[in-house]
């Protein structure tokens, strides 16, 4: 079950479509969907989590807490809407594209993809692009 929670004024449009999309990506990766909670928040909220749980004194667009067991995916994904807005401007893409990339990025981590090395990051980006294409083809 995928749920969306809000700690800021932002509200995701087309929750049902996004849920269906995420579920399809999980299935395509031969994983099983369990309880996945998205929390949309602001920079201050996510910065506090970054300090408290990861000891990182930086702003970030996403933090995911992975509670998956094998291929059964479960966890909490926190997304800073402010950071996504800034990144969209920096990368010269529209907000929704960047938001969807970040949304699926957390899921891909749960599926086992990493992004710490250059080759892993390249694979992650490729998987993100494939997932974004799937979303764009959904009616």
Bridging pattern class, strands 62-66 and 72-80? antiparallel
Three-state DSSP class for 139?
coil
Q: Counting beta carbons within 10 angstroms of the beta carbon of residue 30, is it exposed (0 to 12), middle (13 to 18) or buried (19 or more)?
A: exposed
Cα–Cα distance between 22 and 89 in angstroms, integer?
A: 24
Annotated binding site for Zn(2+): 105, 109, 115
Annotated binding site: 105, 109, 115
| Bridge partners of residue 53, in order along the sequence | none
99: number of Cβ within 10 Å: 23
Q: Mutual orientation of helices 81-91 and 95-110 as an angle, nearest 10°?
A: 110
Nearest to 85 by CA among 99, 75, 72, 73: 99
């Amino acid at each position: 079950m995928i749920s969306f929670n809000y700690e800021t004024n932002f509200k995701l449009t087309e929750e049902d479509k996004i849920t269906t999309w995420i579920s399809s990506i999980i299935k395509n990766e031969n994983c099983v969907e369990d309880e996945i909670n998205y929390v949309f928040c602001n920079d201050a909220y996510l910065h506090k989590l970054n300090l408290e749980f990861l000891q990182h004194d930086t702003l970030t667009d996403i933090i995911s807490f992975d509670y998956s067991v094998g291929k059964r995916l479960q966890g909490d994904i926190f997304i800073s809407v402010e950071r996504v807005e800034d990144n969209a401007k920096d990368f010269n893409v529209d907000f929704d594209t960047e938001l969807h990339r970040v949304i699926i990025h957390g899921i891909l981590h749960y599926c086992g993809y990493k992004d710490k090395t250059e080759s892993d990051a390249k694979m992650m980006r490729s998987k993100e692009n494939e997932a974004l294409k799937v979303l764009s083809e959904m009616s």
